[in-house]
Amino acid sequence: MYNLLALDLDGTLLNENHEISETNKHMLYEAKKRGVKKEYRKLAKKYHPDANPGNQKAEEKFKDISEAYEVLGNKEKRHKYDTFGSQGGFQNGYDFDPSQFGYGGNTHYKYSTGGGDGFSDFFNTLFGGGANFENMFGSSSGRRREHGSAYNRGIDGKDIEVKVNITAQEGFLGEQKKISIRVGEDTKTINYKVPIGIQEGEKIRLRGQGHKGRSGGKDGDLYIMFHFKKQEGMMLEGANLYLDIEVYPWESALGTQKSVQTLDDKISIKIPAGIQTGKKIRVSKKGYISKDSSRGDLYLNIKIVNPESISDEMMELFKKMKDLEDA
């Protein structure tokens, strides 16, 4: 076992009955536990599966190290094993998560008994016959299977996060889409639905569509983050939709009717006479959609533009307008 040598140089370790007090026992236990923890950290880092991908021997070593630390690092469990041995209830369900020590955030270990022993045979080596902690960690992991002890471990697959670009129309309608992602050595195509009313930067999770788990570990998840494509003349602000609408100079001066394509249909809008560039016309409940199915408003931003081609007659009219303005 892992021994600690304590020397009573000043005569304060033992009491008048030449026994170690409970306080000193606790102090010695804590010192011993720190040594075990230090050794565990060093060996766990060395043999962790993430640091040894595909190395089965390293994985077996890490299993031994983790299981040993489960008992060595816990005073109650160690005392229970010292007292009751394999009859102490060490069976089916003791979990160990090394992420609490900074190793492998998605790694989870669970060991259970596979026969009458009630515990892994390497614990008999660890706690009996004078074997020490270092010898146990240095021994071959192959012999611990001889008595049929089952050790179940799982390494969860890593999550995957991807970004996709969608249009405001796709977010409004909640359309079905496909995405191809690289998972290990393979490329797979996944169908997903854009949630109606999704907002910029929001994510959805597709369970089990990430990297594959190993040795019984669960598969990772796929996270899809949504971004809206930049569409000229269109902007989303929450559930409100802003659209640029172009009008000719005479339309702005005299007023007119304009047909406007919204996210779900076409509407006819009256442009009042004398309207100026930068003015906005609000159309209630014709904007984007919220997750509670309520509609935002549509804001039409007026932009006065000239025709791409101007005839001679039109040019003469512009000159007359200028003369009237100067008069």
pLDDT tens column, 12-24: 655 666 666 666 6
Residue 49 confidence (pLDDT): 81
Phi-psi region for residue 196, left (φ > 0), alpha (ψ -120 to 50) or beta? beta
- The mean-pLDDT minimum among 41-50, 112-121, 248-257, 259-268 falls in 112-121
**Looking at residue 112, what DSSP letter applies?**
-
pLDDT value for 161: 96
Task: Tell me the per-residue pLDDT of 304-327, one tens digit each, with 9 for 90 and over.
Answer: 999 988 888 888 888 888 888 777
> What's residue 24's pLDDT?
60
What is the pLDDT at residue 82?
A: 58
The region of weakest confidence among 141-155, 255-269, 280-294 is 141-155
Distance CA 271, CA 14 (A): 98
Q: Which CATH number fits domain 234-326: 2.60.260.20, 2.40.30.10, 2.40.160.40, 1.10.3720.10?
A: 2.60.260.20
**Span 169-207, pLDDT tens digits:** 999 999 999 999 998 888 999 999 999 999 999 999 999
pLDDT of 137 > 80? The answer is: no
CA-to-CA dists, residue 49 to 41, 128, 144, angstroms: 14, 29, 19
CATH topology of domain 160-228: HSP40/DNAj peptide-binding domain (2.60.260)
Amino acid at 14: L
How far, in Å, CA of 64 to CA of 143, rounded? Answer: 11
Per-residue confidence band for 60, with pLDDT thresholds at 50, 70 and 90: confident
CA trace torsion 185, 191, 196, 201 (10° rounding):
10
Q: Where in the chain is the domain with CATH 2.60.260.20?
A: 160-228, 234-326
pTM of the model as a whole: 0.52
CATH classification of 22-155, choosing from 3.30.530.20, 1.10.287.110, 3.40.30.10, 3.40.50.970? 1.10.287.110
pLDDT at 59: 81
What is d(CA 187, CA 180) in angstroms, rounded to the nearest whole number?
7
